[in-house]
Amino acid sequence: MPIQTPDAPTPAGHYSQAIVYNGMVYVAGQLPIDPNNREQPVGPIEAQTEQALRNVEAILKAAGSNLSQVVQMTIYISDISLWSRVNTTYAQVLGDHRPARAIVPTRDLHYGYQIEIQAIAAVAS
């Protein structure tokens, strides 16, 4: 079942914000785009990390899940030197929950952003 919520950025390509299948929700990579202000300038990596996580959170909520149900996250960053700052913000948002995670250094991301986050979570029952 595809998920679409106005509380996260509208996909700019041929994909869904997420798909729910067999008790799991698979969230597409989320850039730190503010769904209420797509023209917002790119901010520091901490703000980008929080916004990307909030976009994931909004999609999870629309799918009947939440951040505490995340079992795996993949984080793409444009520069590995940003990792400690990303990790600090990530820990603040997720609190005690520690899903499995991968960090993938990559080249430039769309629109000048430095981070993209995708997630897999259980659907709350």
pLDDT (tens digit, 0 to 9) for every residue of the chain, 125 residues total? 999 999 999 998 899 999 999 999 999 999 999 998 877 777 899 999 999 999 999 999 999 999 999 999 999 999 999 999 999 999 999 999 999 999 999 988 888 899 999 999 999 76
Question: Rounded to the nearest 5 degrees, what angle is found at the Cα of 49, between the Cα atoms of 46 and 54?
Answer: 125
Question: Rounded to the nearest 5 degrees, what angle is found at the Cα of 49, between the Cα atoms of 9 and 30?
Answer: 30
Token readout for 70 is 């995340």
Cα distances (Å, whole numbers) of residue 65 to 17, 46, 88, 114:
14, 24, 24, 26
Specify the pLDDT at position 106: 93
* Cα R_g (the chain), whole angstroms: 13
Q: Where are the domains of the chain?
A: 2-122
Q: Which of 100, 102, 99 has the alpha carbon at shortest distance from 116?
A: 102
If you count them, how many residues does the chain have?
A: 125
In this structure, CATH architecture of domain 2-122: 2-Layer Sandwich (3.30)
